Amino acid sequence: MTKKVLFVCLGNICRSPAAEGVFLHLIEQRQLTDQFLVDSAGTGGWHVGNPADQRMQAAARRRGIHLPSRARQLELGDLESFDHILAMDQDNLHNVNSMVKEFGPRSTANIRLMLSHARRADTLEVPDPYYGGDLGFERVLDLLEDACAGLIEDLLASGTKR
The catalytic position among 15, 53, 78, 83 is 15
**Residue-level length of the chain:** 162
The catalytic position among 14, 83, 128, 148 is 128
The catalytic position among 9, 53, 72, 78 is 9
Neighbours of 140 (CB within 10 A): 25
Neighbours of 152 (CB within 10 A): 21
Give the DSSP letter of residue 124. S
Instruction: Judge whether 106 counts as a catalytic residue.
Output: no
DSSP-derived pairing of the beta strands 36-42 and 110-113: unpaired
Between CA 17 and CA 10 the distance in angstroms is 11
42, containing H or E segment: strand 36-42
Between CA 87 and CA 6 the distance in angstroms is 9
Instruction: Judge whether 9 counts as a catalytic residue.
Output: yes
Instruction: Judge whether 14 counts as a catalytic residue.
Output: no
Would you please indicate which residues are annotated as catalytic (active-site) residues?
9, 15, 128
